[in-house]
Amino acid sequence: MADAATYTVGDAGGWTFNVAGWPKGKRFRAGDVLVFNYSPAAHNVVAVNKAGYSTCKSPPGAKVYQTGKDRIKLVKGQNLFICSFAGHCQSGMKVAVTAV
């Protein structure tokens, strides 16, 4: 079993607008860690389900991260994240990562 990898969402640009294409070409495994770097005054990270991802709405009870340096361990299957600040998800501040 290989050690878990750590990926910074958006690379040097961090968690910001138009990061939806960031996972392309990367292979993620369950147990890998996504690092979300951002200004907590301007953004957050919300773990959502498929409906929340497609509608840009946080479902009731969704886990909200807001430290600005969040580390989130991937689970097997789809891992979906949005920024719930008004208009942000709609402007491409969302990311879908599938882990094997």
Strands 64-65 and 69-73: unpaired
Phi, psi for residue 71 in degrees, rounded to 5? -120, 115
Determine the pLDDT at residue 2: 61
Q: What are the extents of the domains in the chain?
A: 6-99
pLDDT score at 3: 80
- Residue range 6-99 forms a domain whose CATH class is mainly beta
Residue 45: enclosing H or E segment and its boundaries?
strand 45-48
Per-residue pLDDT of the chain (100 residues; tens, 9 = 90+): 568 899 999 999 999 999 999 999 999 999 999 999 999 999 999 999 999 999 999 999 999 999 999 999 999 999 999 999 999 999 999 999 999 9
Look up residue 28 and give its DSSP letter.
Answer: B
The structure's pTM equals: 0.94
Q: For residue 15, what pLDDT is reported?
A: 98
